[in-house]
Amino acid sequence: GAVVSQHPSWVICKSGTSVKIECRSLDFQATTMFWYRQFPKQSLMLMATSNEGSKATYEQGVEKDKFLINHASLTLSTLTVTSAHPEDSSFYICSAPPRGRPQETQYFGPGTRLLVL
Partner 1 sequence: AQSVTQPDIHITVSEGASLELRCNYSYGATPYLFWYVQSPGQGLQLLLKYFSGDTLVQGIKGFEAEFKRSQSSFNLRKPSVHWSDAAEYFCAVGPSSGSARQLTFGSGTQLTVLP
Contact stretch for partner 1 (CB under 8 A) within 11-19, 34-42, 60-68, 77-85? 34-42
Site mask for partner 1 (CB under 8 A), range 8-27, x = bound: -x------------------
Site mask for partner 1 (CB under 8 A), range 48-77, x = bound: -x-------x--------------------
Residue by residue, DSSP assigns 40-59 as: TTS-EEEEEEEETTS--EEP
Is the distance from CB of 44 to CB of 93 less than 8 angstroms? yes
Contact stretch for partner 1 (CB under 8 A) within 11-19, 41-49, 71-79, 80-88? 41-49
Query: What three-state secondary structure class fits 75?
Result: coil
Q: How far is the CB of 83 from partner 1 (least distance, A)?
A: 27
Contacts of residue 80, Cβ cutoff 8 Å, sequence gap at least 6: 18, 19, 20, 21, 67, 68, 69, 70
